[in-house]
Amino acid sequence: MIPVPLSTLIFIFLALGITVVCALWFWTFIRERRRETHRRHVAVQCRICSTAYLRDPKDKNAVTICPVCNTPNERTRLRPI
């Protein structure tokens, strides 16, 4: 068995804890960023009534009809809040 001083053991556990917390934070950040990118890829915001609705990602048509006001909308990026 390797003798380890208590201060070294505490430092190792603190370093492991900080590493785990940073890794989880980074993983959550990347996951949320991917979800937001996907949402912005499939969402269309109406230029008249500002309703955000989903479009069919397989539909290659660039113009979609708003389900609320029936206005044709071209797919553009959603404005950030």
Is residue 54 at the binding interface for Zn ion, with CB under 5 A as the rule? no
| CB within 8 Å of 76: residues ≥ 6 apart | 44, 45
Q: Are 52 and 17 in contact (CB under 8 A)?
A: no
Residue count (the chain): 81
Number of residues that bind Zn ion (CB under 5 A): 8
Q: Report the residue number, 14 or 62, with the smaller CB distance to Zn ion.
A: 62
**Candidate ranges 5-13, 24-32, 34-42, 70-78; the one touching Zn ion (CB under 5 A):** 70-78
Pick from 15, 63, 68, 78 the residue near Zn ion by CB under 5 A: 68
How far, in Å, CA of 42 to CA of 37, rounded? 9
Which of 49, 52, 62, 63 is close enough to bind Zn ion by CB under 5 A?
49
Greatest CA separation found in the chain?
A: 75
- Closer residue to Zn ion, CB minimum distance, 48 or 62: 48
